[in-house]
């Protein structure tokens, strides 16, 4: 009998959580149509339309309402919000490691500046495109 009450309670909780749904105020992550990229690892292909060398390419992964990854030199993580194609990274925490190669350090700063501009996303097959308010593509990733 005790197990039956736990089961009924669990079903009630799941129904309650399911009724919360998306809202225009910015659900903690994109709508269910965008879940196709959640949990997948994407590696950077272009940064402001410049090709990226695969050896040092940054990557990004979305997990629920968190994103994380590695830039050219530093690891990062933080929240993001969005509804549908809208995407806005929150305060991103970045490690403070320096690269042995000063050029990679410059690219690392450029990568995080681009990530800070992002306001929308689109996915086409294995390509994930992140754009800014003007609609300019700033980051293009391919699934790893």
pLDDT of the residue at 37: 61
pTM of this structure? 0.73
Q: Is 112 inside any structural domain?
A: yes
The reply to whether 124 falls in a domain is yes
Q: Is residue 2 part of a domain?
A: no
Q: Which residues of the chain have pLDDT under 50?
A: 1-31
Q: Do the domain assignments include residue 63?
A: yes
Q: How far is 75 from 77, CA to CA, in rounded Å?
A: 7
* Per-residue tokens: 103: 């050029």
The answer to whether residue 99 is domain-embedded is yes
CA nearest to 106, candidates 50, 68, 62: 50
List the alpha helices (DSSP H) in the chain.
2-18, 102-117
Residue 9: its pLDDT value, please? 37
Residue 15 placed within a domain: no
Q: What pLDDT shows up at residue 65?
A: 78
Any domain includes 43: yes
Residue-level pLDDT at 81: 78
Domain enclosing residue 122, as ranges = 22-143
pLDDT score recorded for residue 123:
82
Give me the torsion for CA of 116, 99, 76, 137, rounded to 10°.
30
């Amino acid at each position: 009998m005790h197990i039956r009450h736990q089961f009924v309670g669990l079903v009630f909780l799941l129904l309650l959580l399911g009724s919360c749904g998306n809202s225009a105020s910015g659900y903690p992550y994109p709508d269910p149509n965008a879940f196709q990229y959640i949990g997948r690892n994407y590696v950077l292909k272009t940064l402001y339309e410049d090709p990226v060398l695969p050896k040092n390419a940054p990557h990004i992964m979305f997990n629920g309402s968190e994103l994380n990854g590695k830039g050219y030199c530093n690891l990062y993580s933080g929240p993001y919000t969005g509804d549908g194609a809208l995407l806005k990274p929150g305060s991103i925490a970045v490690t403070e490691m320096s690269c042995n190669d000063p050029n990679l350090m410059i690219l690392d700063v450029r990568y995080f500046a681009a990530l800070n501009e992002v306001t929308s996303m689109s996915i086409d097959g294995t390509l994930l495109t992140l754009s800014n308010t003007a609609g300019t593509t700033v980051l293009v990733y391919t699934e790893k």
